């Protein structure tokens, strides 16, 4: 139990929201341990035997009875699942409830990547996600998690919301999980209590308005805007709905709820309509504090079509022609739907159907990663990339070798190890049929190509 008390001003705020009697229940529950939850990567087909307690609003989410040592589970390094707070997984229920049109999506404040990987799974092969993070170090973490998830439908960018101005009306769905005062994290992160103040709430609200002033125009006609925070107060939640609907034309969206979930619906009445938000309180829901709302762009709003760039030019990217792209897909036993680009002599592949959208994005945004990096070609040989190993793309033509748990951990630590009888050349290391990365057997020694910066140090 934390020794850090709740700030007095926060208690006053919560009493006005809940009433004194319910606030006491809230206060008791916020001192209880938080439950650990994970969301499986359906595309990798892995279901651990310890995932037994489903999260009711998520088809792939599970509560865990206790928190294992995730670092020492090779499956998490293979992108088989993501450790995500249960309340955030409600986004999956929203997408399915509104039958969100698949296409071009934007996660504007995406790091570390929990919500981006959820959107990526929803889109599958039927869309492209721009996962953006303004802070460069966090954009690197976002890239790593996107690579591990492996679906090849994510473009990682590192931009301020202001940079998206030329892409107004471009996106079928925009998600903004806004930087906030973090009241919903008071149970998981008691230090957040010390950082909280009414002035900090005001500062966060101002920052959110600046972000949403840019984000509100990015949604195309009939598209959706999802806004969320991990906080309880009205200023960062309901008042942001009022701000958005005063600045932009949006229609309300109401999401069906099962009463047993304990999620509380809130109404925001404006001159135009009644809008809806959904608040997660720890004393009512098995999850942390969370708020989310969904708005729909009217059908007469602006639509920015990607157009077709006849002669694609970029400072560092080189487009590979359609004929050569098809030849490369054929050479790698892929399905022929790929469009290739070169960056620093390495080949990247995205679905050809989304290349026009990608090329438009690349003209305006700072790219950190996109699609699947396949590796480099030297004469007739491929030097496969770690990104290809972790992707869901086939790796035909390569030897695969299934590792024991001990061997997998040695591989992930980049320790030296022997694999007697392995053929000379490249081999894909797997654990429980999940690709982990490459080794190259030179005969007299084995080179481990697991990325040095990703290796695990925990014994």
Exposure string of 71-102, with b = 16+ CB inside 10 Å and e = fewer, is eebbbbbbbbbbebbbbbbbbbbbbeebebeb
Nearest 5°: phi and psi at 95?
-55, -45
Q: Closest Cα partner for 128 from 94, 149, 156, 148?
A: 156
Best CA proximity match to 153, nearest among 342, 329, 357, 330: 357
Containing 343, the helix (H) or strand (E) segment is strand 338-343
Q: Quick one: 19 exposed, middle or buried, by C-beta within 10 A (0-12, 13-18, 19+)? A: exposed
**ω before 350 within 30° of 0 (cis)?**
no
Both tokens of 204, joined, read 């966060």
Contact of 89 with 55, CB cutoff 8 Å: yes
Map tokens 């934390």 to a residue.
2
Phi, psi angle pair for 173, to nearest 5°: -150, 135
Kindly name the residue from 230, 244, 389, 403 that is annotated as catalytic: 230
* Residues shown for the chain: 459
In terms of Cβ atoms closer than 10 Å to its own Cβ (0-12, 13-18, 19+), residue 458 is exposed
* 325 C-beta neighbours (distance < 10 Å), count: 21
Q: Which residues pair with 446 in a beta bridge?
A: 441
CA distance linking residue 371 with residue 143, whole number of Å: 11
Instruction: Give residue for tokens 């990217």.
Output: 317
Catalytic annotation present for 230: yes
Contact residues for 431 (Cβ-Cβ < 8 A; gap 6+): 74, 75, 78, 402, 403, 405, 408
Tokens for 125, please give them: 């092969």
Q: How far apart are CA 173 and CA 103, in angstroms?
A: 8
Catalytic residue positions?
230
């Amino acid at each position: 139990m934390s020794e850090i008390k709740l700030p007095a001003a926060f208690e006053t705020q919560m009493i006005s929201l809940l009433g004194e009697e319910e606030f006491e229940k809230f206060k008791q529950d916020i001192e209880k341990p938080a439950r650990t939850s994970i969301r499986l990567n359906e595309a990798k087909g892995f279901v651990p035997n310890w995932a037994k307690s489903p999260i009711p609003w998520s088809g792939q989410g599970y509560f865990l009875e206790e928190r294992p040592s995730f670092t020492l589970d090779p499956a998490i390094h293979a992108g088989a699942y993501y450790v995500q707070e249960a309340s955030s997984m409600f986004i999956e229920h929203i997408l399915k409830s509104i039958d969100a049109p698949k296409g071009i999506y934007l996660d504007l404040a995406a790091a570390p990547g929990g919500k981006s990987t959820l959107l990526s799974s929803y889109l599958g092969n039927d869309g492209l996600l721009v996962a953006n993070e303004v802070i460069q170090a966090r954009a690197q973490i976002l890239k790593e998690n996107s690579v591990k998830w492996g679906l090849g439908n994510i473009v990682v960018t590192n931009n301020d919301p202001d940079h998206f101005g030329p892409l107004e009306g471009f996106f079928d769905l925009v998600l903004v999980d806004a930087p906030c005062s973090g009241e919903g994290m008071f149970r998981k992160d008691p230090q957040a209590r010390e950082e909280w103040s009414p002035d900090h709430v005001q500062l966060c609200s101002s920052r959110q308005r600046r972000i949403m002033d840019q984000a509100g125009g990015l949604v195309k006609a009939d598209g959706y805007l999802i806004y969320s925070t991990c906080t309880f107060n009205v200023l960062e939640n309901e008042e942001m709905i009022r701000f958005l609907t005063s600045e932009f034309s949006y229609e309300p969206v109401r999401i069906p709820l099962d009463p047993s979930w304990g999620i509380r619906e809130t109404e925001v009445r404006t001159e135009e309509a009644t809008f809806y938000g959904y608040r997660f309180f720890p004393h009512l829901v098995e999850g942390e504090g969370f708020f989310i709302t969904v708005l729909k762009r009217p059908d007469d709003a602006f639509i920015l079509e990607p157009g077709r760039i006849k002669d694609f030019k970029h400072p560092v990217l080189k487009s590979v022609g359609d004929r050569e792209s098809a030849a490369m897909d054929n050479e790698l036993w892929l399905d022929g739907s790929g469009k290739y680009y070169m960056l620093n002599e390495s080949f990247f592949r995205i679905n050809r159907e989304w290349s026009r959208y990608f090329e438009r994005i690349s003209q305006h945004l700072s790219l950190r990663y996109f699609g699947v990096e396949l590796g480099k070609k030297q004469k007739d040989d491929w030097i496969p990339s770690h990104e290809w190993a972790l992707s869901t793309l086939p790796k035909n033509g390569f030897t695969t070798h299934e590792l024991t748990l001990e061997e997998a951990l040695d591989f992930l630590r980049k320790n030296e190890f022997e694999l007697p009888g392995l053929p000379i050349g490249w081999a894909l290391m797997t654990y429980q049929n999940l690709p982990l990365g490459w080794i190259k057997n030179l005969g007299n020694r084995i080179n481990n190509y697991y990325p040095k910066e990703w290796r695990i140090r925990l014994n």
